[in-house]
Structure 1
Amino acid sequence: MTGTDGKPARSRPSTGDAGRKQRLSAVTRRPLDASDRDLHPYAALDRGVMASLARMTGGISPHAMIDAWGDWAMHLARAPGRQLELMERARDNWLKLAQFGASGLSGKPGKKPFAPGTYDTRWSHPGWDRPPFALWQQGFLATQDWWQAATADLRGLRKQNNERTGFMMRQLLDTVSPSNFPMGNPEILEATWKNAGRNLFDGALHYADDARRVLTQEHRPVPEDFALGTALAATPGTVVYRNDLMELIQYAPSTEQVHAEPVLIVPAWIMKYYILDLSPHNSFIRWLVDQGYTVFCISWLNPGADQADLSLEDYRLKGIMQALDVIGGILPGARVHANGYCLGGTLLAIAAATMARDHDDRLASVTLMAAQVDFAEAGELLLFLDESQVAFLEDMMWSQGYLDRPQMSGAFAAIRSEDLIWSRAVRRYFLGEPDLPTDIGVWVNDTTRMPARMHSEYLRGIFLENRITAGRFAVEGRVIALKDIEVPMFVVATETDHIAPWRSVWKTALFTDCDLTFVLTKGGHNTGILSEPGHPRRHYRIGHRTAGAHYQGPDRWLAAHEPQKGSWWLEWADWLKTHSGDTGAPPEVKSRGLGDAPGSYVLQP
């Protein structure tokens, strides 16, 4: 049995703190650690200035922006053919716009020549089909169309700078969209007329409240109707272990018989674990318990400045490996089905490859949900990730000890700014609508922090240098290889994921040789994973690759697998059952004086 003092029940070789620090993951050339805090005064001055600048720019390096636009301008200047093409496009767009405007004046408006993007909900109000709003909308979309062409692929231009300019231009145009201004938005004008301006008064109050919270960095509390432990994260369970990095929760069985092999869930520490234990009807953990499994879940500490020196290796050792030790004490000899979500899945892949290398056979299977092992095509989060950007973030973390909540949530929101920033701002500040709480909305706002050293190692070694699949990621002084993993894998990707694009997640199939089942499900990074049975309009694709089979590209796989209606959870349950042993009486969930689920770490602001 595992005690509460952090000592594992299973006897494992100990290298001592000094030895372990010498063999920490060779993730970076220059990780951010305690030694960075004891700098020469001149170096400290430089880092302090950069840290202050980083706070002003939201963590975005000005050098990255200047470099991108300079590179784009020089290549466009020496491309007269592209310049002529853009002149023709400007002419064509202007003619389309003039023709549409003329048809509106004649009383017979024609078909709109420009359409908004799939996720652009700013134009859903019927007022945008009436003049003059329709013309203003089309003028904005025509400008957007031209800039999209202007920042498209240009021969000789670095692909990263090409994508950066397009991204930045979209952000800039979104700030001047007519939908953002009361006199240019028919929905705001209509609401103001109907409510005699009350919507603007309420919106001003919302803005004042939001501004106060931003300035004071006050964490918005969880609404009482969504209290953790009663409405959300309410699956019955007990904290069976706690150390300075994580709590391990064992959930109470809900069936008379359970499978002999338990499930360990490894969530990302960039978010709180209860995304997988939301309301009872869509709780992934509750559903899994109801399928007859003994379920354990890690709940990570929300780190502060005192935890600045936590490393990626600490998360592996004190998180996944310690959890396996504890489970081994509760269920001696039982192999574990490990499930990693997002960043937790990346860490689980590292741990599984290390265990395979070291002939540690405690894993029965590995499931990765919206998790990447290769970051060459990791989406728009990679746009500004270069040496300058990483150093910029490191300086900011050096001064405060962690990457703070707004600095992370802002980066995710910017990817879908038209919906997550501007549409919300219009609803809240001009229409006066409150943010109606939902279970997933409450979770999104319950943000966490990232310790400085770990995040530096992660950005450099995994994102920037892509060491895991390059064969240069070392654990305890020795390189690991994903091809060493022999246990079956179940990999889930989501169709519209902007954080872990599905073709990037697919690359797990390229760098492994084990038996692998791949699922592509409808939805985004979170909504696609939360696809409970009975959820309307859900579908998924599923395919199986036998161990050692030849690699198949993602587009060919997509063409060969038709969508199936329903929830992928049921497919995973069937897959788990085929890889699980016999059923028997559930193990006793013993109280160790650490409290009931959801524990204390998830309540940390």
Structure 2
Amino acid sequence: MTTKDDISQESLERLNTNLARVEELSQRLIRALSDRQGANPSLSGPDGDVFVKAGAAYWSEMMRDPARVFEHQLEFWGKSVKHFLEAQQAVAQGLEAPDDDTPDDPRFSNPLWRTHPYFNFVKQQYLLNAEAVEKAVRDATDLDPVEKQRLEYFSRQIIDMLSPTNFLSTNPDALERAVETEGESLVRGLENLVADLEANHGEMLVRLADPSAFKLSENIATTPGQVVYRNDMMELIQYAPATEEVHATPLIIFPPWINKFYILDLKEKNSLIKWITEQGFTLFVVSWVNPDESYADIGLEDYIERGYLAALREVKAITGEDKVNVVGYCIGGTTLAMALSLLGHRGDKSVKSATFFTTLTDFSEQGEFTPFLQDDFIDGIEAEVAEQGILRSFIMARTFSFLRSNDLIYRPAIRSYMMGEAPPAFDLLFWNGDGTNLPGRMAVQYLRQLCQRNEFAKGGIELLDERLHLHDVDLPVCFIACETDHIAAWKDSYRGAQAMGSKNRTFILSESGHIAGIINPPSKKKYGHYTNTDMSLPAEEWHERATFHEGSWWPRWGKWLAKRSGRKVAAREPGDSTHPPLCPAPGSYVDPASSD
């Protein structure tokens, strides 16, 4: 029989054990933070000038129309006082929360946010505060559009950061879990925090996926193939055929080098690489090197010459074909367009057709990245790469995460650090955390010459002794854009497609976003897509008149590609006598263990 004394002794022992773990973790925490090599401070927030301008605009509005400003202030004060009185009355009448007509919000899904007077008061006051800040930003009418957009973005970041769910004392889910586990969840959360800091050299980047759940070439990136060429910029992987015959014209995919290529080859059922081989194509994929500080002076021209042009040369030599088809994804597509312009200047007809996945070539609209593409941030990046030689991967990861901060920062941090939960075994999020650095020179070229000055779409960008222009691209092209893409907005991708010199253009708009809209296998029957052959229309009208098709765009693109891929020939095994296999896919640049 268990006595109260036994239970008390057990609780005391658990408490002592947890205290000992906290002491050990605290020491590890201090060591991890001491290892931190922070980025340039200007990359952690906007230049103070944006807030000075916002304040000036607010006071300008105050002087011009004081009644309107006071009206908003009095509305906020009135709502706050009324809310406080309602909460007081509810408590006096029996500890019940007042009526709550606030909109549904996944952050506040716990029933206590509606039924418990304390949590309900905190939530409703937070939402009132957020509304007041948003109105104040809207009132700043004297700001130019870019400054207004920046102010909206950074004020939203502050609002999201101050959500009561982000603090233990005002998060009922975390408090309930702590009580249920007798504090064990908080210790596990501290363990998760320390592990994340240790893994990222003192930077707080919350892990989104369990790093032990996946191993390249075992349960992701498993499509068979061989590295058949390697230089200091890339490895060229040729995938094994999945059919007895293949189209004569080979296909090369140039992924972005901001992340690793195996997003195209996650689990077998989601693998675009596997699907392409099953359609009877000889497939080559470029795997870019993850640069260190020795790559500081590598620029876009090096990616073109030692990446794109080298791959074209080696694929033609291996297959014996004089023409190839190519695909570029994201920045890999942007640079592909510049490479195609260069080939045109040189009279090289090696490329038969080009496909662009979520690609920007006209940067006249900067979309959600506008806050990060102004001089204060890019000046900070220039200072960062001048010191480090590279733009370190965690800076890129942090920037992209803040565009979806609730989904990619705060909710994962709450689950990991406050609830003590292990990150999920999710292949896409595992890949997302496997980031890469960018060469310093290339990063500045991309930000200054393309994003800020839009040289490729305007007067032309000077690379490799040529002035390269978007309208130089005159071969058959197919663009795949994604309807809710927040990285490469589809309307901007469409505008770039319109500006190309090609008379044979196809534009396909997939449902979903930057990744899910591309990695959309037909077997899932999940996201549909739109088509419209009239690309003379403005983007909105193109969409309104487009035909919607259920299911993935992959089969439609496969037919488009097959028409441009020639006759069928016997399937080709990876490599040839002058290109012996160097190591199995996914290669040593993406997985150093594969070269052991």
Alignment correspondent of 1:176: 162
Aligned-partner SS, 1:348 = helix
Deviates more, 1:270-279 or 1:562-571: 562-571
* Residues 521 and 541 in structure 1, CA contact (< 8 A), matched pair in contact too: yes
Alignment correspondent of 1:49: none
1:352-391 alignment to 2 at 5 Å? Answer: 352-391=340-379
Deviation at 1:429, TM superposition (A): 0.8
Counterpart-to-counterpart distance in 2, 1:153 and 1:562: 41
Alignment equivalent of 1:424, drawn from 412, 417, 442: 412
Deviates more, 1:483-492 or 1:430-439: 483-492
Counterpart-to-counterpart distance in 1, 2:515 and 2:238: 23
1:530 counterpart = 2:513:
no
**Paired amino acid for 2:429:** G
Alignment correspondent of 2:71: 88
1:572 counterpart = 2:560:
no
Counterpart-to-counterpart distance in 2, 1:383 and 1:69: 13
Alignment equivalent of 2:305, drawn from 312, 317, 328: 317
**Structure 1 portions without partners, runs of 5+:** 1-51
* Residues 305 and 400 in structure 1, CA contact (< 8 A), matched pair in contact too: yes
Counterpart-to-counterpart distance in 2, 1:505 and 1:152: 29
Counterpart-to-counterpart distance in 1, 2:356 and 2:498: 15
1:306 counterpart = 2:294:
yes
Alignment equivalent of 1:516, drawn from 498, 501, 505: 505
* Residues 115 and 141 in structure 1, CA contact (< 8 A), matched pair in contact too: no
Alignment correspondent of 1:213: 199
CA RMSD of aligned residues (A): 2.7
**Paired amino acid for 1:429:** Y
**Structure 2 portions without partners, runs of 5+:** 1-35
Counterpart-to-counterpart distance in 1, 2:215 and 2:327: 26
Alignment equivalent of 2:185, drawn from 189, 192, 199: 199
* Residues 225 and 237 in structure 2, CA contact (< 8 A), matched pair in contact too: yes
Deviation at 1:137, TM superposition (A): 2.1
1:72 counterpart = 2:72:
no
1:133-532 alignment to 2 at 5 Å? Answer: 133-152=119-138, 154-215=140-201, 223-514=211-502, 515-532=504-521
**Paired amino acid for 1:572:** W
In percent, how many aligned pairs have the same letter? 33
Aligned-partner SS, 2:359 = coil
Deviates more, 1:416-425 or 1:555-564: 555-564
* CA displacement 1:570-604 (0-9 Å, x = unmatched): 22112212333222212232361411211111125
Structure with higher Rg: it is 2
Counterpart-to-counterpart distance in 1, 2:519 and 2:476: 23
TM-score, normalised to structure 2, is 0.85
Deviation at 1:115, TM superposition (A): 5.3
Compared with structure 1, are the counterparts of its residues 100 and 558 closer, same or farther at alpha carbon in structure 2 (3 Å cutoff)? farther
* Residues 76 and 83 in structure 1, CA contact (< 8 A), matched pair in contact too: no
* CA displacement 1:420-461 (0-9 Å, x = unmatched): 111111110111111112111111111110111111111111
Counterpart-to-counterpart distance in 2, 1:181 and 1:306: 42
1:16-165 alignment to 2 at 5 Å? Answer: 55=39, 57=41, 59-60=43-44, 64-80=46-62, 84-92=67-75, 102=86, 105=90, 110=99, 112-114=101-103, 116=105, 121-132=106-117, 133-152=119-138, 154-165=140-151
Deviates more, 1:311-320 or 1:503-512: 503-512
Report the count of equivalent residues: 544
Counterpart-to-counterpart distance in 1, 2:231 and 2:338: 21
* Larger relative contact order, structure 1 or 2 (CA cutoff 8 Å, min sep 6): 1
* Residues 378 and 499 in structure 1, CA contact (< 8 A), matched pair in contact too: no
Alignment equivalent of 1:588, drawn from 570, 573, 581: 573
* Residues 261 and 336 in structure 1, CA contact (< 8 A), matched pair in contact too: yes
Deviation at 1:496, TM superposition (A): 2.1
* CA displacement 1:200-234 (0-9 Å, x = unmatched): 12111111222233335799998454111121111
Deviation at 1:524, TM superposition (A): 2.0
Aligned-partner SS, 1:122 = helix
Counterpart-to-counterpart distance in 2, 1:252 and 1:215: 39
Compared with structure 1, are the counterparts of its residues 604 and 71 closer, same or farther at alpha carbon in structure 2 (3 Å cutoff)? farther
* Residues 335 and 363 in structure 1, CA contact (< 8 A), matched pair in contact too: yes
Deviation at 1:171, TM superposition (A): 1.6
Compared with structure 1, are the counterparts of its residues 539 and 141 closer, same or farther at alpha carbon in structure 2 (3 Å cutoff)? farther
Aligned-partner SS, 1:383 = helix
Counterpart-to-counterpart distance in 1, 2:202 and 2:433: 16
Counterpart-to-counterpart distance in 2, 1:370 and 1:291: 22
Aligned-partner SS, 2:217 = coil
Deviation at 1:491, TM superposition (A): 1.0
Counterpart-to-counterpart distance in 1, 2:473 and 2:141: 41
Aligned-partner SS, 1:226 = coil
TM-score, normalised to structure 1, is 0.84
Deviation at 1:494, TM superposition (A): 1.6
* CA displacement 1:251-294 (0-9 Å, x = unmatched): 01001111111111001111111111111110111111111111
Counterpart-to-counterpart distance in 2, 1:82 and 1:271: 50
Aligned-partner SS, 1:601 = coil
**Paired amino acid for 2:112:** G
Deviates more, 1:477-486 or 1:238-247: 477-486
Compared with structure 1, are the counterparts of its residues 495 and 137 closer, same or farther at alpha carbon in structure 2 (3 Å cutoff)? farther
Compared with structure 1, are the counterparts of its residues 170 and 218 closer, same or farther at alpha carbon in structure 2 (3 Å cutoff)? closer
Counterpart-to-counterpart distance in 2, 1:218 and 1:179: 18
Deviates more, 1:497-506 or 1:450-459: 497-506
